[in-house]
Structure 1
Amino acid sequence: MRTSKWAILAYVAIVFFGILAALPNVLPVAIQQQYASFLPVKPVTLGLDLKGGSHLVLEVDAAGLRRARLNTLLDDIRGALRTERLQTSSARIAGDAIAVKIADPADRARVLPKIQQLAAPVGTLGFGTSSSDIEVSTADDTITVKLTEAGLSDRMTAAVDQSLEIIRRRVDQVGVAEPLIQRVGSDRILVQLPGLQDPTRLRQLLGSTAQMSFHMVDTSVDPNTTTPPRGVDILPGANDGAKYAVESRVAISGERLADAKAGFNQQTNEPIVSFTFDSQGARQFAEITRDNVGLPFAIVLDGKVLTAPRINEPIPGGQGQISGNFTAQEATVLSALLRSGALPAPLTIIEERSVGPNLGSDSIRMGIYTGLAGFAAVVVMMLVLYTSWGVIANIGLVLHTILTIGVLGMLGSTLTLPGIAGIILGIGMAVDANILINARIREETAAGAGAMKALDVGFNKAFATIVDGNVTTLVGTILLFMFGTGPVRGFAVTMMIGIVISMFTSITVVRLMMYQMVVRQKLKKIEIHSIFGKVPAIPVFSFMRGRYVAIGMSAFLSISSIVLFFTPGLNYGIDFVGGIQVEATSEAQLDLAALRPKLEDLNIGEVALQDFDQGKSVLIRVQRQPGGEAEQTVALNAIKDAVTQAIPGAAFERTEVVGPTISAELARSGFLAVGLAMVAILFYIWWRFEWHFAVGAIVTLILDITKMIGFFALTQIDFNLTAIAAVLTLIGYSVNDKVVVYDRMRENLRKYKSMPFSDLIDLSINQVVMRCIFTSVAILASLLPMAIWGGDPVKPFAWPMVFGVIVATTSSIYIGGPILLFLSRWWKDRESTRAPGSELAKS
């Protein structure tokens, strides 16, 4: 129990700095700004689900990038063939390669070095050697040019980096405060924009490649023809729906644009975009307008004709303007696109979520209320169980919460609604360490130990159990962080921080305060009573006597859960199956009867409507649309238009679009995380205990998980990423509970070597049964306010966790022991039959 002064100073410094780091979160904004330079960290950043905004994940089109490189190579190869006076038609794209068919060996030998010179360096690949981005091979009369994987990977990296900068410039020019734009993986970009409720403009801004070019219009070709002559393309109009016969040859490249600004026509007052060319572009523009007076000149953006004005006179200044049937907002977006430059490859929006500011403020309020209610319930429980010693535990819990918020601020983490749930659950699980410590001290006191010895031995015995229990919970949480995304990862971060801080506050701060209480009050004996008086002695229930009934009931419930898994099955959320989810609100009562036919007329598949908030809000869910990511966006816009027509003045509080690509990945990573968590826990328990303890824990855990899956199937609560978080948290808690029981069994195996194993299991469970119940009650007390008032975002987590905690506690008491007893007896019988002198050995 002795602690050096240096260690105490370190503990005080950690607590002081943690409080200082958490302080900005409770100070008014004016004071924060005034003393910003003196505060160690900024307030915790709130996630979009708490303050509103838009979240998009964009994917660089790898196929488009490959296709663009092949087209460039084809043009270059044809240029080389033209230089050697060979037919350009001999080069063509064949699949993922370019085939150049030249019959004459001499001609082939002349053009081959020129094709090989077209290779672009990929970058340094080890030991300073550079490689080519193409492979050139010859077979018979054909030269084949293929793109290398290293070259494509290098181009993808460059495309993502370039896209990041272009997106950042586009967003800055539109004027969104505090945007988050970052790379995710090798080919994706995450864009989060706080406060931007409607992502339609953002989608238009980010989804366009902005590849602008200027072409002459061929007036001799009918734009409605299906077979235009070579050198002419039929392009659609961007705004008017007309068609244009445009020359394929680029008259002026969009790269020659120097600036673009949105404004208004002085005469007609319609929105326009004025543009200016650089010196070379201005010269080209002057020549074209001089030589083509009276002919239409097309301005093309991303394969669509923005406008095709007639050239009335030569324009020598290098300036022009784009006019058309677009709004002032569209003109602003177009000018931003032109100023920021062209994206190197198309971007596909594979995930889109938006939350309105009203819903965000409601989430903050509910998060705070449920957090305070859960915390108050835990504090009251500790006071009831341990009276004055419970005050010390509550001081530890307060410090635990403050330090958790402080560390979140220091790490620059984003706090989401599931993150608040993680803090609340962390408080409930932090109580476990205090309950273990107090229970151990009570036991040592009951055995006749003095105050200081009971404190010392109690902390020492509780320490190993606390470490084992927290490490098993940490394993599941780390995997949740590795495979989770967005808010689920936020939950994992707060849980990991909470687990580590819980160990610090319990093992250091609480221990020092209890030590000081014993010393200052000169206690000879530590009496830890509940508010109702002295705690009864350890119970003497025979749990093993009813083991067959307990296992039978558990097996029946698990088998029933498996049946429920197949029929009616899980209600998979759009995280896993993809689709569209829209929440609309109105000040007046919603008329779902008028809304349903309008949505059904859209022919977008089955539409599910759910009203809540006394009929003033509706949740619209639509299945994933056939096709790619673009079809999901089209369907979302159609849904919004239908809702606006049916419900005038409707506000869209939340929209979610999960495309087929991201939904398949989320499902795979979620289930992989659950499987890996179980394997990791198996090996940890095997290492810390013995193999039959590990197998017993996993078997019991499988029974717990199947029951939880059955609960999801029975209640039809959305099974989404938040539900996966609940399953992984249950795994951590369930194993934590089993570890406490197993740790006592291991201790008793050393202490009572001749005791029958069934009696030893009964004794061990009786010694820890009150701890299991108290911890479960504490966690339930922290979860129930969240489940009742937390709202839809945390419902798939809170209610299943309430059910899961009850299941995990009962399985620790009634199921884990019998399975362990069966495995132990099976192993002993197996060993006895294999031993020398046995009947089997003699035979």
Structure 2
Amino acid sequence: MLYFSPWKTVLIWLTVLVGILFAIPNLFSGATVQSFPGFLPQSKLALGLDLQGGVHLQLKLDREELVGHRLESVRDEVRRSLREGGIGYTGLSGSGQTVSVRIRDTAQVERARELLEPLTEAVSAGLLSGGIVQEVTLEEPEPALFRLNLTDQGIEYRMAQAVSQTVEVLRGRIDELGTTEPIIQRQGTDRIIVQVPGLDDPQRLKDIIGTTARLTFQMVDTSVSAQDALQTRPPAGTEVLYSADDPPVPYVVETREIVTGENLEDAQAGFDQRTNEPIVSFRFDGTGAQRFGRATQENVGKPFAIVLDNQVISAPVIREPILGGSGQISGNFTVEGANDLAILLRAGALPLTPTFVEERTVGPSLGADSIAAGETAGIIGAALVVAFMFLAYGFLGIVANIALVINVVLIIAALSGLGATLTLPGIAGIVLTVGMAVDSNVLIFERIREERAAGRSVIQAIDTGFQRALATIVDANLTTLIAAVILFYLGSGPIRGFAVTLAIGIVTTVFTAFVLTRWMMAFWVRRNRPKELPKAPVRLVPDGTKISFMWLRRMTFTGSAIAVIASMVLFASVNMNLGIDFKGGSLIEVQAKGDQADIGDIRSRLSALNLGDVQVQGFGTEKDVLIRVEEQGGGENAEQTVVTKVRSELEADYDFRRVEVVGPTVSGELARAGTFAVLAALFAILVYIWLRFEWQFAVGAIIATTHDVLLTIGMYVVTGLEFNLSSIAAILTIVGYSLNDTVVVYDRVRENLRRYKKMPLPDLLDMSMNQTLPRTILTSLTTLLALLGLFFFGGEVLRSFVAAMIFGVVVGTYSSVLIAAPLLILFKLRPGAFDRDQGEKEATSKTMPVDIETP
């Protein structure tokens, strides 16, 4: 095990070198990286919105709106077909997903069927979608009555088209804003995620995105005044539309569209040469120019309306025919307004009106503070862990610290190479990995100490220590990896970033602890030929401890049962402080432009806005204030109104550092997904432990882990900490950590069951607990040191997340020793279940020579 062939040595250090090369670009600015030679990696870690500021929006397209458009389209097609065929009809209407029409003359029914049949022809869904789709079916439930039904398959096909078209339109609009690397992607069947890093004007982005931008040119009906039309009824074929003026001016406009924005070839913002006012110049394509020219020839002296999303932008009078296919739109625009309208028209109209169901905005100043806090927490946490490892292991601790530094470098390299986005929870994942990465080294070093104490030589102790620690390392890290994978697939946004960081950290930890550390130990042994293991400056756990853990089991079972029941009762009777991720609403963080925020003034000003329950509290410094507004209950768009009102009320005196808005649809989905993620992780790990051990171990591990989860939830209820999306990440990480600890303990129990078949189970468990006690304490302390650095220096945003992690580490350590192990007695685990005679194998290994030759 301590021999490394030359090619293995080259491969190990080549991996480290590649990691360093991929990590190096993160130390330099973008301009410097661009000057690197072409053969060197140039990709850098992308910073999340919470680190560099920006806007995250989730949009939803309404299925009902789509069905309404399709009903109107089918109804118009039915009307046109029957009129062109000269067939009289009555009762043409649409309801639900059905258009109905009755034919007056029964002799024309067959002819009507022939005219309506083409509407039911299937359409090709494209090569990638596969096959054909029938959007409409025709039936005749009674003589002379036809019903055209929109199929669910057809609606899904149209919705998929609408989502794809919306993504492309939004990409065109946002690209025109000149932002850096926006992310626009489809999510599910009716959602779109938009992320724009570095943007400091979220309202402008929402205006650009939320505007349908359907442009039409329609004639104004001058035969009746707008006031008469409003008092009676507009003439047939007309409707009343209002202008964008203040107050709005009504116009009677013909519903017939002369030409639409689909015929636009270009639109540019400019200035009127006569008035020097901002305008938008446009140019039609050939079809549009022909239609517009013919309409203006026939209506000289009459006004026509330029309508954008059912609002009259302007209504000029046609002085002469416009035959060139171009014109201009004026309407008291600002320069920015004219530019935004030109962007909308160039990008095209959205097929459906999007609804904002989630918004998360982080200002650039808060992003800079988050980066600084993350760096400080990372440096302090790493320094504490490095110092602690040296005190606990001396020279071996230096070896572990070298492996730890390379481990962090490999994590950053992997994230950079994958193009992953580093978020604030991602930094938490790296800091947590720093604490947990030493666990594998601790396992190895404690094994080496045990083997040396058992009488083996230094070389044999090192070799055997690595061999016996391997299975434990794999089992312990795989349980955490299972939690990370499930977190990635069931989580969203920053939580997925945390899962990616944690998963990569687990892989790099196994490599650095078992491969790199083993190479360094082999190199040290070959160079120094030591006669004894290096001494540690501090020995936290004395050798040969004989604590009677199993004697305490009745007290620990009773205490834990009381605590778990109390947690469940509190959870059922006391309202948990749920964040907006789970109950909807708005969260706004502001910072006073002056020396100090006036919380009382903010509370009174917001109370006058009639927003329901508004909570205002200090947050961090005296200048920072956190505002929570309850869910409005008026649909998804009602939540956006809250932000608009609060912004207009406070923006003169306060900077908006962070805005989070979660509608009722998203909050319900997040609650279900979070619960399912925890249950799925527990089930997956149950199956894995069952396969690797016995059913008693699997059930014991799940009971102990469920105990930790329930107590953590109780901690949230008692302390009043906010339970949000990051809390789910914390609980799942606690699941992984607790199981990691439990698996290490169970692995030693399994090993001892094979060696001491006649030893009473309580005595065997006590021995196993005492053997793993140094590793348990050292791992818990290193993880806690990393988390304490994050808790005190990582910023307010992560404080509740890290507090749960600290509580989980303490409870997880307690449960793995005093709950999980004694459960094996309760389940009557039989030592005879392990019938392999491990003792003979170990006796053979004592006399086996060890080759330590290295190149």
TM-score, scaled to structure 2: 0.93
Q: Quick check: 1:57–1:349 contact (8 Å CA) kept in 2? A: yes
Distance 2:426 2:540 in 1: 39
Counterpart pick for 1:140 among 135, 142, 146: 142
Report the alpha carbon displacement of residue 124 of structure 1 after superposing the two structures with TM: 5.8
2:160 matched to which residue of 1? Answer: 157
1:320 matched to which residue of 2? Answer: 327
Distance change >3 Å, CA 242–CA 595, structure 1 → 2: farther
2:67 matched to which residue of 1? Answer: 66
Distance change >3 Å, CA 412–CA 126, structure 1 → 2: closer
Distance 2:541 2:221 in 1: 96
1:413 matched to which residue of 2? Answer: 420
Q: Quick check: 1:277–1:318 contact (8 Å CA) kept in 2? A: yes
The correspondence of residues 609-620 of structure 1 with structure 2, limited to 5 A, is: 609-620=616-627
Distance change >3 Å, CA 679–CA 44, structure 1 → 2: same
Match of 1:583, SS state, is: strand
Worse-matched range after superposition: 290-299 or 783-792: 290-299
Q: Quick check: 1:24–1:39 contact (8 Å CA) kept in 2? A: no
The correspondence of residues 293-312 of structure 1 with structure 2, limited to 5 A, is: 293-312=300-319
1:822 matched to which residue of 2? Answer: 826
Distance 1:275 1:597 in 2: 48
The alignment status of 1:542 with 2:544, answered yes or no, reads no
Q: Quick check: 1:370–1:785 contact (8 Å CA) kept in 2? A: yes
Report the alpha carbon displacement of residue 354 of structure 1 after superposing the two structures with TM: 1.1
Q: Quick check: 1:166–1:341 contact (8 Å CA) kept in 2? A: yes
1:629 matched to which residue of 2? Answer: 636
User: Which residues of structure 1 form unaligned runs of 5+?
Assistant: 829-843
Counterpart pick for 1:697 among 701, 706, 709: 701
List per-residue Cα deviations over 1:730-782 (Å, max 9, x = no partner).
00000111111111110010011011111111111111112111101000000
Q: Quick check: 1:741–1:764 contact (8 Å CA) kept in 2? A: yes
The alignment status of 1:781 with 2:782, answered yes or no, reads no
The alignment status of 1:595 with 2:608, answered yes or no, reads no
Distance 1:545 1:441 in 2: 29
Letter in 1 for 2:195: Q
Report the alpha carbon displacement of residue 602 of structure 1 after superposing the two structures with TM: 1.3
1:212 matched to which residue of 2? Answer: 215
Letter in 1 for 2:293: A
User: Which residues of structure 2 form unaligned runs of 5+?
Assistant: 833-855
Distance 2:314 2:191 in 1: 33
Q: Quick check: 1:122–1:154 contact (8 Å CA) kept in 2? A: no
Letter in 1 for 2:384: A
Q: Quick check: 1:385–1:529 contact (8 Å CA) kept in 2? A: no
Letter in 1 for 2:56: H
Report the alpha carbon displacement of residue 597 of structure 1 after superposing the two structures with TM: 2.1
Letter in 2 for 1:345: L
Identical pairs, percent: 46
List per-residue Cα deviations over 1:705-733 (Å, max 9, x = no partner).
11100111122221111000000000000
1:836 matched to which residue of 2? Answer: none
List per-residue Cα deviations over 1:604-634 (Å, max 9, x = no partner).
1110111234321211111111222221112
Q: Quick check: 2:89–2:104 contact (8 Å CA) kept in 1? A: no
2:350 matched to which residue of 1? Answer: 343
List per-residue Cα deviations over 1:173-192 (Å, max 9, x = no partner).
22212212222223222211
Report the alpha carbon displacement of residue 120 of structure 1 after superposing the two structures with TM: 4.6
Distance 2:229 2:261 in 1: 24
1:677 matched to which residue of 2? Answer: 681
Counterpart pick for 2:659 among 655, 659, 662: 655
Distance 2:10 2:327 in 1: 71
Distance 2:438 2:449 in 1: 16
The correspondence of residues 89-238 of structure 1 with structure 2, limited to 5 A, is: 89-102=90-103, 104-118=105-119, 119-123=121-125, 130-141=132-143, 142-219=145-222, 220-221=224-225, 222-225=228-231, 227-238=233-244
Distance 2:347 2:622 in 1: 45
Report the alpha carbon displacement of residue 798 of structure 1 after superposing the two structures with TM: 0.5
Q: Quick check: 2:90–2:104 contact (8 Å CA) kept in 1? A: no
Distance 1:739 1:617 in 2: 44
Match of 1:771, SS state, is: helix
Distance 1:225 1:318 in 2: 38
Report the alpha carbon displacement of residue 300 of structure 1 after superposing the two structures with TM: 1.1
Match of 1:615, SS state, is: strand
Report the alpha carbon displacement of residue 104 of structure 1 after superposing the two structures with TM: 4.7
Distance 1:127 1:666 in 2: 29
1:838 matched to which residue of 2? Answer: none
2:76 matched to which residue of 1? Answer: 75
Q: Quick check: 1:223–1:243 contact (8 Å CA) kept in 2? A: no
Distance change >3 Å, CA 414–CA 273, structure 1 → 2: same
Distance 2:753 2:760 in 1: 10
Match of 2:43, SS state, is: coil
Match of 2:440, SS state, is: helix
Report the alpha carbon displacement of residue 471 of structure 1 after superposing the two structures with TM: 0.7
The correspondence of residues 649-798 of structure 1 with structure 2, limited to 5 A, is: 649-798=653-802
Letter in 2 for 1:212: L
The alignment status of 1:384 with 2:357, answered yes or no, reads no
Q: Quick check: 1:529–1:535 contact (8 Å CA) kept in 2? A: no
Match of 1:792, SS state, is: coil
The alignment status of 1:562 with 2:568, answered yes or no, reads yes
Report the alpha carbon displacement of residue 160 of structure 1 after superposing the two structures with TM: 1.8
Worse-matched range after superposition: 267-276 or 441-450: 267-276
Distance 2:255 2:455 in 1: 96
Distance 1:315 1:707 in 2: 76
2:469 matched to which residue of 1? Answer: 462
Q: Quick check: 1:98–1:144 contact (8 Å CA) kept in 2? A: yes
Distance change >3 Å, CA 88–CA 343, structure 1 → 2: farther
Distance 2:544 2:148 in 1: 80
The correspondence of residues 823-842 of structure 1 with structure 2, limited to 5 A, is: 823-824=827-828
List per-residue Cα deviations over 1:625-646 (Å, max 9, x = no partner).
12222211122101111113xx
Worse-matched range after superposition: 9-18 or 55-64: 55-64
Distance 1:657 1:393 in 2: 44
Letter in 2 for 1:93: G
Distance change >3 Å, CA 127–CA 57, structure 1 → 2: closer
Report the alpha carbon displacement of residue 129 of structure 1 after superposing the two structures with TM: 5.2
The alignment status of 1:40 with 2:45, answered yes or no, reads no
Match of 1:471, SS state, is: helix
Distance change >3 Å, CA 592–CA 175, structure 1 → 2: same
Q: Quick check: 1:122–1:150 contact (8 Å CA) kept in 2? A: no
Report the alpha carbon displacement of residue 125 of structure 1 after superposing the two structures with TM: 8.6
Distance 2:545 2:281 in 1: 86
Letter in 1 for 2:4: T
1:831 matched to which residue of 2? Answer: none
Letter in 1 for 2:102: K
Counterpart pick for 2:817 among 813, 816, 819: 813
Report the alpha carbon displacement of residue 560 of structure 1 after superposing the two structures with TM: 1.9
Report the alpha carbon displacement of residue 601 of structure 1 after superposing the two structures with TM: 1.5
Give the aligned length.
824
Distance 1:765 1:403 in 2: 34
Distance 2:433 2:745 in 1: 21
1:839 matched to which residue of 2? Answer: none
Distance 2:539 2:690 in 1: 41
Distance 1:100 1:274 in 2: 44
The alignment status of 1:577 with 2:577, answered yes or no, reads no
Distance 2:588 2:184 in 1: 24
Match of 2:626, SS state, is: strand
Match of 2:359, SS state, is: strand
Report the alpha carbon displacement of residue 295 of structure 1 after superposing the two structures with TM: 2.9
TM-score, scaled to structure 1: 0.94
Distance 2:244 2:506 in 1: 56
